[in-house]
Amino acid sequence: MANDKQFIRHCIRYEFHQGKSTAKACESICSVLGVNVVSKSTCEFWFRRFKEDDFDVSDRERSGAPRKVTDNELQALLDQNSCQTQNELAQQLGVTQQDISIRLRQMGMILKEGKWVPHALSEKKTKVAAPTVTVPNRFTDMQQYRYKSEGVKGAVIGIDLGTTFSCVAVMEGKQAKVIENAEDSRTTPSYVAFSKDNERLVGMPAKRQAVTNSVNTFYATKRLIGRRFEDPEVKEDMKSVTYKIVKASNGDAWVQGTDGKMYSPSQIGAFVLMKMKETAAAYLNTPVKNAVITVPAYFNDSQRQATKDAGQIAGLNVLRVINEPTAAALAYGMDKQEDKIIAVYDLGGGTFDISILEIQKGVFEVKSTNGDTFLGGEDFDNSLVNYFVSEFKKEQGIDVTKDAMAMQRLKEAAEKAKIELSSSLQTDINLPYLTMDSSGPKHLNLKLSRSKFESLVNDLIKRTVQPCQKALSDAEVTKSDIGEVLLVGGMTRVPKVQQTVQEIFGRQPSKAVNPDEAVAVGAAVQGGVLAGDVTDVLLLDVTPLSLGIETLGGVFTRLISRNTTIPTKKSQVFSTAADGQTQVEIKVHQGEREMAGDNKLLGQFSLVGIPPAPRGVPQIEVTFDIDANGIVHVSARDKGTGKEQQIVIQSSGGLSKDEIENMVKNAEQYAKADKIKKERVEVVNQAEGIIHDTESKLEEFKAQLPQEECDKLKELVAKLREILAKKDDVDPEEIKKQTSELQQASLKLFEMAYKKMAAERESQNQSQSQQEPEGEKKEEKN
């Protein structure tokens, strides 16, 4: 019974009606039902639900609902200077710390030198740095990083949209809180699946059914985001994934299910972002709109724009797109006082980044960044899968590469083995009934040692060495200058990776941050900066790759070099290449090669209407403007006529405005259908749970209840069963109404059950306390 969630919920409800706090309720229930059957956060969640919609509690004090505190009350307490923390203020006034945090922010009050005083920046957004931070003159254009963005209302969540897992966090006061999802996990698999009846599954539910529905389960699509179908990385990816990658009308790489429907990687990413958004909204108990989303530092402009598109499709207002290593550095350095240069080594599920940052009195300045956007845990898994396929073929003579279900099982086994070998020297791979032929079923059984695993992935680990050396060179520092090396991303748990990092930097890497959560935490910190909640942090990021245009002879002419601090703006004057030329075509490229054709083409546009003139006479001013998200805006202006043409680089071939709007509508339709289905399932589950609990407790306590009350409960149970028999056709509100009626009627019954258990527990405790002294006396005699 201690594990019966429905009964535990009734216990929480009973404690709620007793007017207890969530902490006291949690303590009472655990003492009666057993240790750790319920957490404080679970109690908090149900207390909120009970206060809001499921139960009508007229007496506010009895229900334990927090009282309202007035500005005058709070101001009077602040004037006394008796409370030095928000927690002390909350305890003094009998409200939550979150309430105090919000009210202080509204009043514009901060604690300075032991006194609560008005924040100098609360009324006007002046461009003056906080007293603790000395910002060089060249940073004055960066002040938009520093203080609250105009028009930001409500919470700003930080989302790490990962290749294999995603995570969401939010600032609570001065601390970032990682939010657990509906499955009570702090990270969510970046999986999206579509069932036979077109139901959309996201996260763990999608991953669970991947073996039986591999062709309609999309994972690691972050490796495709912002990429062309013809890109060599896409061709490589097509060899290992179990779903179909197709060429979209705009030339981008999209994915396709067995029903023929095509989805852009931005759409798949949007479905995961919606899950993160819902997770945050459930925790905060309010709709969420604003977000900071992270991307690999070495993402090019197309990939950044595609990620921003994903946020827009998910219905988010993406305030900032920031680099993952930079976010991790924010998570690490929030509470650090000393100045130092750090390296962030980020090896995740699909990408690798290395960033060198200097932290100085709250200023986080990225000195350089490098990486590989097609190197991560997926590649490690694929190496293992290829090894398993090879070993199985040697042993059984069967090639399973065309068997989608077998390949998905091998992929899951590879992931499991990789994780186990981080803490064990050997693991067993046992996959019964992997496939079959005319002679019967075939099984895979083999042992895999850590040394064998390391030999299989050694070349992948070696690929991280050169980017690290390049980042050190670009930052103009040596490895001896690095004060700390942070490990970020799940793959950094692999011992061989840690050993390689130590060899590169000549020092033991730090484990000061959680590799799975640090990026989301840092994104939440940046969200706090944009919301005005965090005022002692200044983030100065860089553009990872050089930007320029194609000039005569196909030469790549750089306007902005890599590792330039952003936001930034640069102009250069060009001219025509032929006599009488009346238009010029501007081709925008990103990369480090000397010829434009070898670099990534971001976009192109034409400036027309140039008056005919000899070559070299017209003056065409080309301007590159990179915003704080690292997204490029390009314009060209004929200085003679004043005519101007500009372009915002779109994601790869580019999702048009209409395409994004259609995807937003589709996502909303899915969300609506999902919500209705989820509500129906939840009310049915609740109803069935109430019926089960009521019947079992009625059987136990029927002798202690009046007969007419027993008959009424049986009648209500029968009525609810009748409605549930037609659950697919009945309005969920009707089920909810009948369930509530039965719930209210059975209140006395459940109270009796809970009191009985509490009495038994008390009796047991007294019995134990009486036996203990006797045991002590015997020991004394001995």
Residues β-bridged to residue 318: 291
DSSP conformational letter for 649: P
Annotated catalytic residue within 44, 346, 378, 379: 346
Q: What is the pLDDT of residues 58-81, one digit of tens each?
A: 333 333 334 556 666 677 777 766
Q: What is the DSSP string of 5-31?
A: HHHHHHHHHHHHHTT--HHHHHHHHHH
Annotated catalytic residue within 15, 237, 301, 324: 324
The answer to whether 533 is a known catalytic residue is: no
DSSP conformational letter for 587: E
38 SS3 class:
coil
DSSP conformational letter for 53: I
Q: Give Cβ neighbours of residue 431 (< 8 Å, ≥ 6 apart).
A: 409, 410, 413, 443, 444, 445
Other C-beta atoms lying within 10 Å of the C-beta of residue 131: 9
Tell how strand 290-295 and strand 156-160 pair up: parallel
pLDDT of residue 657: 61
Interior/surface letters 506-540, b for 16+ CB within 10 angstroms, e for the rest:
eeebbeebbbbbbbbbbbbbbbbbbbbbbbbbbbb
Rounded average pLDDT over 622-630: 86
Q: What is the pLDDT of residues 441-491, one digit of tens each?
A: 999 999 999 999 999 999 999 999 999 999 999 999 999 999 999 999 999
Tell me how far the alpha carbon of residue 653 is from its chain's centroid.
Answer: 26
Annotated catalytic residue within 222, 367, 418, 442: 222
The answer to whether 695 is a known catalytic residue is: no
pLDDT bin (cut points 50, 70, 90) of residue 503 is very high
pLDDT at 538 over 90: no
Interior/surface letters 718-752, b for 16+ CB within 10 angstroms, e for the rest:
eebeebbeebeebebeebbebbbebbebbeebbee
Q: What is the pLDDT of residues 373-386, one digit of tens each?
A: 999 999 999 999 99
Mean of pLDDT over the chain: 82
The answer to whether 324 is a known catalytic residue is: yes
Rounded average pLDDT over 411-435: 94
Annotated catalytic residue within 99, 160, 353, 372: 160
Express as a percent the part of the chain with pLDDT over 70. Answer: 78
DSSP conformational letter for 158: E
Q: Closest Cα partner for 506 from 489, 481, 477?
A: 481
Q: What is the pLDDT of residues 684-703, one digit of tens each?
A: 888 888 888 888 877 877 77
pLDDT at 93 over 60: yes
pLDDT at 651 over 50: no
pLDDT of residue 191: 97
Q: What is the pLDDT of residues 742-769, one digit of tens each?
A: 888 877 777 776 677 767 677 776 666 6
pLDDT of residue 654: 54
Residue 77 carries which side chain, given as an amino acid letter?
Answer: L
pLDDT bin (cut points 50, 70, 90) of residue 142 is very low
